């Protein structure tokens, strides 16, 4: 957050862990001790960090690379798959290459214009929000293997602005529950195995939600734009299923 607001050189002081479950005496020893990274007294580093004037290279606007090409050069299929993988535009699983015809078929399922901004997301709280268009959502829907008839649901998820690639030390994953007539129209599963890999609509809509979050918010690179700990396997399809309204109490 400080970096986005013009303090890319934010000063930091580290203290030993853990904090939870420690006695007052143990916590006091942390404060009276030394920074485990620099070896300097913790309180001295805190006071200097709060009171020492900033120098030239510690101030200035934060800049993040926002260059994502709309089109890539034609190439062999294997090379294109490698290009998407190397640029971290995928979830590390095989994708459906988003050709112009495939994207157009997806866009045909909405009345919204391709260049219309549909939402904004950010990967972490210290990065700015990225805006993404209807077309970008369609590209990620194709990559996920979704069928065009699923696109209204995927677009609705994109419009929430809630990322499925959030950063937290608890390594969270998103969940999307779909209701309304569309769940039956596109054949989503609300019964046995609804949360498992047994239904094409459930699986690919959830995967599209993750991919559009990752690419729409400007990346999800561990240690750079993803700050979770061990990660979460549910992030592959964002636990997406239909609500069984008819049998709900």
Q: What is the mean pLDDT of residues 62-71?
A: 70
Does 212 share its domain with 96? yes
Spacing of C-alpha 232 from chain mean position: 12
Range with top average pLDDT, 70-74, 154-158, 165-169: 154-158
- Residue-wise pLDDT for 225-245, tens only, equals 787 778 888 888 899 999 999
More confident position, 204 or 49: 204
Does 210 share its domain with 130? yes
* Residue carrying structure tokens 């609705």: 156
Residue 111 covered by a domain:
yes
> Average per-residue pLDDT in the chain?
87
Does 86 share its domain with 27? no
| Total tally of structural domains belonging to the chain | 2
Residue 71 covered by a domain:
no
Residue numbers of the domain that contains 143? 77-247
Does 140 share its domain with 116? yes
Does 183 share its domain with 95? yes
Q: 58: helix, coil or strand?
A: helix
Domain boundary among 63, 85, 105: 63
Dist CA 244 CA 238 (whole Å): 18
Q: What percent of the chain has pLDDT over 70?
A: 87
Domain boundary among 13, 29, 63: 63
Residue 138 covered by a domain:
yes
Domain boundary among 38, 63, 88: 63
pTM: 0.77
* 3-class SS letters over 16-53: CCCCCCCCHHHHHHHHHCECCCCCCEHHHHHHHHHHCC
């Amino acid at each position: 957050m400080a970096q986005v607001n013009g303090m890319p050189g934010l000063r930091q002081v580290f203290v030993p862990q853990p904090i939870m479950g420690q006695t007052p005496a143990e916590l006091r020893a942390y404060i009276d001790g030394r920074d485990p990274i620099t070896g300097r007294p913790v309180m001295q580093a805190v006071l200097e960090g709060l009171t020492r004037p900033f120098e030239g290279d510690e101030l200035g606007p934060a800049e993040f690379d926002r260059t994502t090409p709309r089109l890539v050069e034609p190439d062999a299929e294997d090379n294109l798959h490698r290009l998407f993988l190397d640029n971290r535009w995928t979830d590390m699983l095989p994708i459906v290459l988003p050709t112009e015809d495939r994207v157009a078929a997806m866009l045909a399922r909405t009345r919204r214009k391709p260049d219309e901004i549909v939402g904004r997301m950010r990967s972490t709280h210290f990065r700015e929000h990225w805006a993404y268009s209807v077309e970008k959502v369609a590209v990620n829907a194709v990559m996920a293997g979704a069928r065009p008839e699923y696109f209204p649901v995927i677009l609705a998820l994109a419009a929430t602005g809630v990322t499925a690639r959030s950063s937290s030390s608890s390594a969270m994953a998103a969940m999307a529950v779909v209701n309304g007539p569309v769940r039956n129209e596109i054949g989503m599963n609300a019964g046995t195995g609804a949360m498992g890999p047994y239904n094409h609509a459930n699986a690919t809509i959830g995967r599209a939600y993750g991919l559009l979050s990752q690419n729409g918010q400007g990346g999800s690179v561990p240690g750079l734009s993803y700050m979770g700990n061990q990660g979460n396997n549910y992030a592959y399809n964002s636990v997406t299923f239909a609500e069984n309204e008819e049998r709900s109490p």
